[in-house]
Amino acid sequence: MDNIGKLSRNFAKKSANREKVPDFFTIVRYIENNNLSKSKVGKAPNIQSEIVRFSQLPHLKFPENEIANISVINGVPLVTVYFFGLLGPNAPMPLEFTDFVLKRTLSYYDLSLQRFLDIIHNRMLALYYRAWALSNQAVSEDRENQIYTKIISAFSGNSEFIYKNPKNSIPRDTQMAYVHFLSKRTRGRDGLEKILSNFFHIPFKVIPYVNTRHMIPKEFLYQLGSDKKSILGVNIQIGSHYFSNTKKIILEVGEISLDECKKMLPGSVGFKRLRQLVNLYVNKPLRYGIRFIIKKNSDFRGYLTGKNALGINMWLVSKNCKTPESVIVVNAFNWSKKIHNDSYEEFK
């Protein structure tokens, strides 16, 4: 309440000096943000729960400001306005009626008629502010319950994906920023390339149709001669593995420096964000690896400083090994298999 009192004094001082004052929406938003634990303006269940009340000052002039006064009555801020209401030179009521209310207020100190009209003004101004707040995304960020964010995120098919898991390391607005890619029914490799390239500011390329070998599940294994369904060359094949080129992709990154590569290796924040972005976009079990193409002039010498781990961000290499380019390959799916499968089960 001290902040509201300070706001009232500053507003009165600026009005007296004919200085520029904040508009109606700025004032009400400031009051609302100082009462985050209470109901929003226009959503209070009863008048006792309202965090601010509104009134219109009877007038027959064309005022310079939207707000006439800000005061505190019985611990509740009262915002008196000019621009909205039944009274005024451009109001719906006749000028004679406005003049009558103005005389009763100023000459006879009778506020009964003005306060009666304020019953309408209070409710209509509260709903007017709420309609403005609902159509502005910036205002919805003031509180945790962000209806605008939920509406936009619903188009991606993964509504509240980022908000449900507190361990997510990507910014909470990521899903909204890339909703035009996530809302597509068919998600191609171009969308994933643009999301990753834009998020990390480095070039990404998706290489599809990587041929891989997979184990045949035990429930699909047969023995020859067990029944008529086990006919070699008809519905079964020899071996315990099968090959597929539709279950794995390669994310090619580069060319980048070795320092940039280390920021995206397993165990780093960059790797966690990359993994979560892929899970968000693919949203189904899909094996993928990461191929880092390192610039030729990068320094590969490692130092025993306690920050390097052999096999993670430091490797042994032959002294005479010379290659036109250095490539680091990480099987990213093995590092995030459980998390990826859990997210798929949650949203499938």
What's the structural domain count of the chain?
A: 2
* Domain housing 249: 152-210+245-347
Comparison of pLDDT for 153 and 165, the residue scoring more: 153
The answer to whether residues 199 and 286 belong to one domain is: yes
One domain for residues 337 and 190: yes
For residues 186 and 109, membership in a common domain is answered with no
End-of-domain residue from the set 79, 105, 140: 140
Residues 12 and 126 in one domain: yes
Question: Are 75 and 168 part of one and the same domain?
Answer: no
What pLDDT digit, counting tens, does each position of 39-92 carry?
899 999 888 899 999 999 999 999 989 999 999 988 899 999 999 999 999 999
pLDDT of residue 29: 94
The tens digit of pLDDT for each residue in 174-210 reads 878 888 898 888 888 999 999 999 999 999 999 998 8
Q: Please indicate, yes or no, whether residues 6 and 122 belong to a single structural domain of this protein.
A: yes
Domain identity same for 104 and 169: no
Structure tokens at 242: 């099968």
Q: Does 266 map to a domain?
A: yes
Six token digits for residue 204: 């990404």
Q: Domain check: are 287 and 331 in the same one?
A: yes
Q: At residue 250, what is the residue type?
A: I
Mean pLDDT, rounded, of the chain: 82
Mapped onto helix, strand or coil, the DSSP state of residue 30 is helix
152-166, 170-184, 331-345: range with lowest mean pLDDT? 331-345
Specify the residue for token string 């000028």. 95
Does 14 fall in a domain? Answer: yes
Please report which residue ranges of 135-246 form alpha helices under DSSP H: 137-140, 147-154, 161-164, 174-177, 179-182, 189-200
Could you give the CA distance from residue 342 to residue 348 in angstroms, rounded to a whole number?
10
Please indicate, yes or no, whether residues 283 and 338 belong to a single structural domain of this protein.
Answer: yes
For the residues 91-107, what does the mean pLDDT come to? 94
